[in-house]
Amino acid sequence: MATPINILEETGWIDFNRQQKQSGAQLLALTAFRDRQIRSHWLEPDGRVVSATFLCRGEHFPSLSPHLPEVAWDEREIHDLFGYIPVNHPDLRPLIRTPRWPRHFHPLVADLARTPVWEDAEPDNPAREVEGEGVTIMKVGPTHAGIIESGHFVFSIMGENVLHMDLHLFQNHRGVEAALQGLDLSLVPPLVSRICGADTVSHQANWAMAAEQLAGHQPSETLVRQRVLLLESERVLSHLNDLAQIPAGVGFQVANQRALAMKETWQRGLFSLFGHRLLFDTITPGWTATAQMADLITLIDDVNQTWRGWRTFVEGHHGFQDRMRDTGTVKRGDADRLGAQGVAGRASGLAFDARSLSPWYHDLAVHTSTDAHGDVAARFRVRLDEVEESWRLLRKLATKLSQESAQDVEWQPPQDLCGETVAFTESPHGLNVHVVALENGKVTRYHIRPATFRNWPVLALAVSGTAVGDFPLINKSFELCYSCNDR
Amino acid sequence: MKRAQKSLQFRHLDAGSCNGCEQELNALTSRFYDIQQQGIDIVASPRHADSLVVTGPVTDTMLRPLGKVWEAVPGPKLLIALGDCAAGCGVFQAAYASHGGVAGSLKEPDVVIRGCPPTPQDILDQLLRITAAKDPGPKV
Ligand code: SF4
């Protein structure tokens, strides 16, 4: 959705963004560009996208963080990757940069033809720790005891209680946005498909949507339905994974193993339907992988046989429910202030689900499930409901698609595609946004703003004040990916 | 020194993966594959491991932790690169903070399991090949 460029002065910039938040709009992204523009995109409650731009004075721009805490990380990231300085930022420590980065190396404005010469230093940034008698500092990571992604957490604890958890993530920072810069259109899909193994379809869909919007190409209703089918299949996959991990967080092995088995059955089904167990490489501009609808219905029926018994079992297990209740609570006000996304937001009573504003879902009437409690139990339950809702949508789509003749006329974006646009989908983890600028068929800027980037600070808040032993459970109830956060 | 047992106790380290390889590695613990039954297990500490499974293209921030974890695994030990990224041929090789997979950052891996991601069955087959090779004695 291309929007006119609306350049504002200092006060206008702050006021505009603050008013957007107050009027109930969703922040899509805060994006910096090489020509010193900082642009914000907002999704209004009626589905329109509006944007505003600030042109840096020298290297400086006024920080929005004191007024909009949810962009505190965005501005730190801009500071690291572009070197632009958010004036009055409350906490301008490095977010992605480490002491190993060469001085004045800002990858998104640097000349990357020369490989950076890394400093001979440890990659650790100073942590924010609580000082005082009886306070213990506990460091976890960056490598972990299980099979999970890398991330470093510094806990300040007093007895059992977490006073503060300082997040030191971005160990998985490969430099994906820079790697996309300068690429030819045809080379974008394989990279975008691998930004995150858990939200791959959503990322692929965003790129397809962006390229089609810029070309003014309207995909057919059938193609759109096939894409929604993939998006919902991915949601089921990711939620089944999370629903397996949450019981594992309290050592509830039976529930964990049965859910893992459902996930495996689902993945095997996806492999025989679409050719990939995680749905990589299934959407490109103008194209979407297709499958036999009857087989999809059989797969849903198959998994459902285990699902019904499993749901009754976990919901009726008092010990498990008791562990989840009132653990890691996020209040609605905090969720809203920090811009919590996806399940994390909906389980704290925020009703936002990007599907309800997406034209791709216009005839599907998606039911949004919310829960006011904000605890682990709420995040667990919202996922249970969402899996069933996705199955309902999948059945509906499969029925429609089986009545439609399959293929579209083949379409490829023009080789000289130009312009800037923003595309978004609701990934299993929440609102996932891409801001894309192209010149002459090449990428000049590719900004990826996944939901997890907003949710990490929400997790830190959920953990403070709880017993440190509850961290694995609370962490699993968010199940945030590191890869698309770190990029 | 020759290995005494026909088993494999690996520690996993993510050096910048997309989480695809992790998901498939995790699937090995489900009842469909049940790796423990085959004498393969995932251990919590490198000190308890006889092999290290690395995923991801090795980001700059994970370069040193990777070296330290490898150091901490007692010998004789095996270095296993899992997935195209770790194998040095994934899509993020050209990214500025990637160090060329396991071979480009630490040393030539003993075993490379290709795929993006490799399926759990592929991973299991390759791991079983290692355990089979470890035991020169007659098969039962
Ligand atoms: S090899 Fe593929 S699945 Fe594995 S980490 Fe790399 S991109 Fe992800």
pLDDT tens, N- to C-terminus, chain A (487 residues): 445 568 878 888 999 999 999 999 999 999 999 999 999 999 999 999 999 999 999 999 999 999 999 999 999 999 999 999 999 999 999 999 999 999 999 999 988 777 889 999 999 898 899 999 999 999 988 988 888 888 899 999 999 999 999 999 999 999 999 999 999 999 999 999 999 999 999 999 999 999 999 999 999 999 999 999 999 999 999 999 999 999 998 889 999 999 999 999 999 999 999 999 999 999 999 999 988 888 999 999 999 999 999 999 999 999 999 999 999 999 999 999 999 999 999 999 999 999 999 999 998 999 999 999 999 999 999 999 999 999 999 999 999 998 887 666 788 999 999 999 999 999 999 999 999 999 999 999 999 999 999 999 999 999 999 999 899 999 999 999 898 899 9
Beta carbons of A173 and B13 less than 8 Å apart:
no
Beta carbons of A196 and B19 less than 8 Å apart:
yes
* Domain membership flag for residue A124: no
DSSP state, residue A375? S
Closest residue in B to A271 (Cα) is: B119
| Chain segment A476-486, per-residue pLDDT in tens | 999 998 988 99
- Are residue A106 and residue A190 in the same domain, yes or no? no
- Are residue A416 and residue A324 in the same domain, yes or no? yes
CA-nearest residue, atom 2 of ligand 1: B116
Q: Which of B14, B25, B47, B66 to mutate to test the interface with A (most CBs of A within 10 A)?
A: B14
User: For B57-74, what is the mean pLDDT?
Assistant: 95
- Tokens matching residue A185: 């259109």
3-class DSSP state of A269: helix
- B14 CB less than 6 Å from ligand 1? no
Sheet order of strands, A135-140 included: A135-140, A152-158, A161-168
Beta strand extents in chain B (DSSP E only):
8-14, 40-42, 51-55, 78-82, 111-113
Q: What is the pTM assigned to this prediction?
A: 0.94
Q: In this structure, are residues B32 and A261 in contact, taking their beta carbons and an 8 Å threshold?
A: yes
Distance A344 CA to ligand 1 centre (A): 26
Q: Which residues of A touch B13 (CB under 8 A)?
A: 143, 150
Which positions ≥6 away from A352 have C-beta within 8 Å? A26, A341, A345, A346, A431
pLDDT number for residue A144: 87
- B83 CB less than 6 Å from ligand 1? yes
Option in A149, A278, A280 nearest B17 (CB): A149
Beta carbons of A172 and B91 less than 8 Å apart:
no
- B98 CB less than 6 Å from ligand 1? no
Q: Percent of chain B scored above 90 by pLDDT?
A: 76
- Are residue A223 and residue A85 in the same domain, yes or no? no
* Domain membership flag for residue A147: no
* Domain membership flag for residue A457: no
Of A45-49, A324-328, B6-10, B63-67, the range with the lowest mean pLDDT is B6-10
- Are residue A332 and residue A199 in the same domain, yes or no? yes
pLDDT number for residue A10: 83
Beta carbons of B91 and A190 less than 8 Å apart:
yes
* Domain membership flag for residue A127: no
Q: Which residues of A touch B61 (CB under 8 A)?
A: 98, 100, 123, 142, 170-171, 173
Sheet order of strands, A430-439 included: A419-427, A430-439, A442-449
- Are residue A200 and residue A100 in the same domain, yes or no? no
* Domain membership flag for residue A346: yes
pLDDT number for residue A114: 76
A80: region left, alpha or beta (phi > 0 left; psi from -120 to 50 alpha):
alpha
Please report the DSSP string for A221-242 in residue order. HHHHHHHHHHHHHHHHHHHHHH
Q: 10 Å Cβ neighbour count for A2?
A: 13
Restricting to B residues 62-101, those with a Cβ less than 8 Å away from any Cβ of A are: 62-65, 69, 90-92, 94-98
Closest CA to A147 of B123, B95, B6, B92: B123
- B56 CB less than 6 Å from ligand 1? yes
Interior angle at CA A259, CA A257 and CA A262, nearest 5 = 115
pLDDT number for residue B138: 46
Query: Cα(A321)–Cα(A314) distance, rounded to whole angstroms?
Result: 8
Beta carbons of A196 and B25 less than 8 Å apart:
no
- Are residue A277 and residue A426 in the same domain, yes or no? yes
For residue A95, the enclosing domain spans: 1-110
Of A39-53, B11-25, B125-139, the range with the lowest mean pLDDT is B125-139
Q: 10 Å Cβ neighbour count for A133?
A: 5
| Chain segment A349-391, per-residue pLDDT in tens | 999 999 999 999 998 999 999 999 999 999 999 999 999 999 9
Distance A453 CA to ligand 1 centre (A): 20
Amino acid, res. A229: L
- A197 CB less than 6 Å from ligand 1? yes
Q: In this structure, are residues B76 and B1 in contact, taking their beta carbons and an 8 Å threshold?
A: yes
Q: In this structure, are residues A433 and A41 in contact, taking their beta carbons and an 8 Å threshold?
A: yes
The ligand 1 atom at the shortest distance from the C-alpha of residue B115 is 1
Average pLDDT, chain B: 89
* Domain membership flag for residue A436: yes
Element (H, E) at A388: helix A376-403
Choose one of A55, A88, A110: the last residue of a domain.
Answer: A110
- Are residue A264 and residue A358 in the same domain, yes or no? yes
pLDDT number for residue B2: 54
pLDDT at B3 over 70: no
- Are residue A282 and residue A414 in the same domain, yes or no? yes
- B55 CB less than 6 Å from ligand 1? yes
- Are residue A382 and residue A274 in the same domain, yes or no? yes
Amino acid, res. B1: M
Query: Cα(A459)–Cα(A137) distance, rounded to whole angstroms?
Result: 19
pLDDT number for residue B139: 44
- Are residue A325 and residue A434 in the same domain, yes or no? yes
Interior angle at CA A149, CA B111 and CA A125, nearest 5 = 115
Choose one of A69, A84, A110: the last residue of a domain.
Answer: A110
- Are residue A197 and residue A103 in the same domain, yes or no? no
- Smallest Cα distance from A290 to chain B, Å: 21
Option in A118, A145, A260 nearest B44 (CB): A145
Tell me how many domains chain A contains.
2
Choose one of A88, A110, A132: the last residue of a domain.
Answer: A110
Q: Which of A147, A171, A268, A446 to mutate to test the interface with B (most CBs of B within 10 A)?
A: A147
Show the domains of chain B with their CATH numbers: 8-132 (3.40.50.12280)
A vs B, Cβ pairs < 8 A, gives: 140
Integer CA distances (angstroms), A201 to A64, A287, B45, in order:
32, 13, 34
In chain B, the largest separation of any two C-alpha atoms, in whole Å, equals 50
- Are residue A309 and residue A400 in the same domain, yes or no? yes
pLDDT number for residue A78: 97
CATH number at residue A302: 1.10.645.10
pLDDT number for residue A5: 64
Q: In this structure, are residues A276 and A270 in contact, taking their beta carbons and an 8 Å threshold?
A: yes
- Smallest Cα distance from B1 to chain A, Å: 27
Amino acid, res. B131: T
* Domain membership flag for residue A157: no
Q: In this structure, are residues B37 and A195 in contact, taking their beta carbons and an 8 Å threshold?
A: no
DSSP state, residue B77? -
- Tokens matching residue A433: 């946004």
What's phi and psi for A135, nearest 5 deg? -90, 130
Interior angle at CA B49, CA A277 and CA B133, nearest 5 = 75
Q: Which residues of A touch B72 (CB under 8 A)?
A: none
Q: Which residues of A touch B25 (CB under 8 A)?
A: 147
Q: 10 Å Cβ neighbour count for A216?
A: 9
Closest residue in B to A260 (Cα) is: B30
* Domain membership flag for residue A175: no
Task: Show the DSSP H helices in A87-220 as ranges.
Answer: 176-180, 188-192, 200-215
